[in-house]
Amino acid sequence: MQSEKQKMLAGALYDASDPDIQADLIAARLWMQRYNASLHLSSADRQTLLRERLAQVGDGAAIRPPFHCDYGFNISLGDGAFLNFNCIILDVVAVTIGAKTQIGPGVQIVTADHPRDPRQRESGLEFGRPVDIGRNVWIGAGAIILPGVAIGDDAIIGAGSVVTRRVPA
């Protein structure tokens, strides 16, 4: 039988109140406190902090604090990827951000989703759908990327956009 965390990572319905999942959320919040207080550190030291929590951090990848995420361990950044301040990533499943992608301030990337059936939703179960952002993408300030979206290489997402479906290269 799969644990709730295994279900979450597989994109299946899971119970977010599970103690193991809650422990991971707390660990991420403690890490965010450290990371968001790191403005005085060098870029290299901040990159070391990112590598403590994120699944993959490419050479030269950077996130300007403050930054918020659910877990962090589902986020992969390609070489030279840049996220400006106040970005939020709800990473219940994989979020992949390609090399040289630039993400403006206040962008939200959401993988968390909820059942469409009201009875299932009332039960408190949720699930996730991955987000895949290609290389050399530019996402303008305040854009919202919704669950299950794929954005192709070299695409431009305008400031304030709500992206609900695939954007081709």
Residues known to be catalytic: 114
Cα(103)–Cα(124) distance, rounded to whole angstroms? Answer: 32
* ω into 66 cis (within 30 of 0): yes
Cα(47)–Cα(67) distance, rounded to whole angstroms? Answer: 13
List the end-to-end C-alpha distance of the chain, in Å, as a whole number: 40
What is residue 35's three-state secondary structure? helix
Cα(73)–Cα(86) distance, rounded to whole angstroms? Answer: 19
Cα(115)–Cα(113) distance, rounded to whole angstroms? Answer: 7
DSSP H or E segment with residue 9: helix 4-10
Handedness of CA 109, 25, 93, 116 (dihedral sign): negative
